[in-house]
């Protein structure tokens, strides 16, 4: 039996770097059937254990092989309300695909031969979008429409809570601070990875249930938390981690040093790549340096490259990372795409100082070479700077993508919320309940790993706890 993965077609490199069009096309029906047929339908499917929301992967793949696409979608939908989104952005190589029987044990990430579960899930989601209606997925009860739950933030954790509770007829109101819904799905992920029509389609499905969305609402500022406590039976906090982490090195305040959060928000949410049609400008450098090794760094680097091409700048983009490629937390496919598009990588490099010109615009980064030591708390080998190895990298624009932390707008106004030393909300890991009764939290705001599917898993836990608290059987 053929064990080689069926690869989907992609936009040509020449076309992808000049636009924000989706890069990966997804499977045709023929390709999907060929890939689905590789699944050996294990007696004990380990892939399911690797899925944070527990999708019955074995079952939906079998249904795909039988061309029963409606049932395949419904199987996924029982656990995941957003298959088209997750099929595009879920880091499956570290989760379900890594747990596939075709991946050798103790492997750091999925084998090339592991079943391409996310693209199969994407096929089912996209098929449903184009061919199905969705009233059949709604619980046939109105017994619980007397209950009201508020979700703060509209990222993947909150959307999951809203989706799970609305099945039972519970009235859910989602409050989003920005003018667009989706949280990090909207402002953080570029359209060439997640088209906005897909994002908004799956979000808008929730409106068919009892979910209402309110944008431009900052809980703690434009509406007080105590008002929500008075008017709702439970509250879920899914505000994410929107504040940037900085290097805290000399001259980091120079002009043209962006946080990845600001840079991606300007491009993805405010459409600065269409300036002046849209009114948010952004600077574009000749040599753009991105510091970091995660998915956000890859997104920033690939966006920066497109900004150069769109503005007819024959420049370059370089990614600096203090470890080696083996330790990079970014998805392998995103690293591969970045390399294909011409982005350069410098590994074992530690920035120690920025250099500005007479106008305080960045013109260089002083770096140290590094070597790897013993593993740290992340299980990756520690990066150790080598004394006396300083060298200069010339640049006219820098994007710092080394992490995000909690925005404390809400926490600062709700003193009863217990938070840890990093500013994250502390929760019971089993129920996701905070230090305040009937108030729950999940996603990056509780210090998760930063993946969409993990945040959704937390949302499912919280939803179950809320149902239990309301004495609703599920």
pLDDT digits (tens, 9 = 90+) for 280-290: 999 999 999 99
249 plus 395 within the same structural domain: yes
Residue 389 lies in a domain: yes
Average pLDDT over residues 158-171: 94
Q: Classify strands 439-441 and 257-259 as parallel, antiparallel or unpaired.
A: unpaired
- Segment 184-195 shows an average pLDDT of 96
What CATH code is carried by the domain that includes residue 115? Answer: 1.10.1060.10
Indicate if 108 and 156 belong to the same structural domain: no
Tell me if 8 is assigned to some domain: no
For residue 38, pLDDT beyond 90: yes
From the list 242, 258, 235, 311, the residue with the least C-alpha distance to 463 is: 235
How many other C-beta atoms lie within 10 A of the C-beta of residue 156?
A: 31
**Claim to verify: residue 416 and residue 380 sit in the same structural domain:** no
The pLDDT value given to residue 4: 78
CB 384 within 8 A of CB 375: no
pLDDT digit string (tens) for 97-110? Answer: 999 999 998 888 89
With tokens 């969409």, the residue in question is 452
Task: Please check whether residue 372 is in contact with residue 297, taking contact to mean a CB–CB distance below 8 angstroms.
Answer: no
Tell me, what's the pLDDT at 460?
Answer: 96
Residue 4 lies in a domain: no
Residues 285 and 398 in one domain: yes
Q: Are 66 and 129 contained in the same domain?
A: yes
The pLDDT, as a whole number, for residue 138 is 52
pTM of the model: 0.94
Average pLDDT, the chain: 94
Q: When comparing pLDDT for 140 and 130, which is higher?
A: 130
Contact 163, 448 (CB under 8 A): no
Secondary structure (H, E, C), 170-204? CEEEEEECCCCCCCHHHHCCCCCCCCHHHHHHHHH
- Residue range 51-68, pLDDT digits in tens: 999 999 999 999 999 999
Give the model confidence (pLDDT) of 313-361 as tens digits: 999 999 999 999 999 999 999 999 999 999 999 999 999 999 999 999 9
pLDDT for 136:
45
Task: Give the pLDDT mean for 262-273.
Answer: 95
Do 117 and 249 fall into the same domain?
no
Report whether pLDDT(209) > 50.
yes
Indicate if 220 and 253 belong to the same structural domain.
no
Same domain as 382, residue 284: yes
pLDDT above 50: residue 123: yes
Last residue of a domain, one of 75, 109, 136: 136
- For 41, the domain range is 13-136
Residue 7 belongs to a domain: no
CA atoms within 13 A of residue 151's CA, in its CB half-sphere: 37
- 307 and 379 in a single domain? The answer is yes
Q: Examine residue 210 and state whether it is found in any structural domain, yes or no.
A: yes
When pLDDT is averaged across residues 25-51 and rounded to a whole number, the result is 96
> Quick one: pLDDT at residue 171?
95
Which of 2-6, 434-438, 469-473 has the highest average model confidence (pLDDT)?
A: 434-438
- Whether 137 has a pLDDT exceeding 60, the answer reads no
pLDDT at 139 over 60: no
What's the number of domains the chain is made of? 3
Q: What is the pLDDT of residue 142?
A: 58
- Tell me, yes or no, whether 23 and 111 share the same domain: yes
Looking at the structure, tell me whether residues 251 and 377 fall in a common domain: yes
Beta pairing partners, 10: 24
Mean pLDDT, residues 182-199? 96
Same domain (yes/no): 72, 89: yes
In the sheet that 211-215 helps form, which strands lie side by side, from edge to edge? 211-215, 171-176, 148-152, 234-237, 439-441
For residue 24, what are its two tokens? 């990966």
In a domain, 5, yes or no: no
Rounded to an integer, the average pLDDT of 18-35 is 96
The CATH number for 168's domain is 3.50.50.60
Q: Which of 104, 120, 136 is the last residue of a domain?
A: 136
SS3 content of the chain, % helix, strand, coil (to 5): 35, 20, 45
Among 384, 403, 422, the domain-final residue is 403
* Residue 474 maps to a domain: no
Residue 6 belongs to a domain: no
| Mean pLDDT computed over 34-49 | 96
């Amino acid at each position: 039996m053929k064990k080689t993965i069926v690869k989907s077609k992609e936009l040509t490199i020449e076309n992808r770097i000049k636009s924000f069009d989706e890069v990966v096309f997804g499977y045709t029906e023929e390709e999907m059937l060929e890939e689905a047929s590789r699944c050996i339908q294990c007696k004990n499917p380990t892939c399911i254990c690797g899925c944070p929301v527990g999708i019955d992967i074995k079952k939906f793949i079998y249904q795909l092989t039988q061309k029963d696409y409606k049932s395949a979608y419904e199987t996924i939908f029982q656990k995941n309300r957003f298959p088209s989104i997750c099929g595009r952005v879920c880091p499956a190589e570290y989760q379900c695909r890594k747990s596939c029987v075709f991946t050798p044990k103790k492997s750091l990430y999925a084998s090339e031969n592991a079943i391409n579960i996310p693209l199969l899930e994407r096929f089912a989601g996209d098929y449903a979008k184009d061919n199905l209606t969705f009233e059949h997925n709604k619980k046939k009860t109105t017994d619980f429409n007397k209950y009201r739950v508020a979700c703060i933030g509209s990222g993947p954790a909150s959307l999951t809570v809203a989706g799970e509770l609305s099945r039972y007829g519970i009235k859910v109101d989602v409050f989003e601070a920005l003018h667009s819904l989706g949280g990090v799905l909207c402002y953080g992920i570029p359209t060439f990875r997640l088209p906005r029509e897909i994002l908004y389609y799956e979000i808008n499905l929730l409106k068919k249930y009892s979910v209402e969305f309110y944008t431009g609402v900052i809980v703690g500022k434009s509406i007080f938390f105590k008002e929500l406590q008075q008017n709702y039976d439970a509250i879920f906090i899914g505000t994410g981690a929107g504040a940037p982490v900085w290097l805290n090195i000399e001259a980091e305040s120079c002009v043209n040093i962006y946080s990845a959060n600001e840079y991606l928000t300007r491009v993805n949410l405010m459409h600065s790549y269409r300036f002046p049609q849209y009114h948010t400008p952004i600077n574009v450098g000749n040599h753009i340096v991105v510091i970091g090794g995660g998915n956000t760094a890859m997104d920033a680097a690939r966006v920066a490259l497109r900004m150069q091409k769109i503005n007819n700048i024959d420049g370059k983009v370089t990614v600096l990372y203090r470890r080696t490629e083996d330790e990079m937390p970014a998805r392998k496919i995103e690293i591969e795409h970045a390399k294909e598009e011409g982005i350069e990588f410098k590994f074992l490099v530690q920035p120690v100082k920025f250099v500005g010109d007479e106008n305080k615009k960045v013109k260089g980064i002083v770096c140290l070479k590094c070597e790897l030591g013993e593993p740290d708390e992340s299980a990756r080998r520690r990066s150790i700077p080598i004394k006396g190895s300083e060298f200069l990298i010339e640049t006219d624009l820098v994007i710092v993508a080394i992490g995000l932390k909690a925005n404390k707008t809400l926490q600062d106004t709700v003193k009863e919320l217990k938070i840890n030393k990093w500013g994250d909300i502390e929760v019971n890991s089993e129920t996701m309940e905070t230090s305040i009764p009937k108030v729950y939290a999940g996603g990056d705001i509780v210090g998760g790993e930063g993946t969409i599917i993990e945040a959704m898993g937390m949302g499912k836990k919280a939803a179950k706890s809320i149902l239990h608290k309301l004495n609703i059987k599920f």
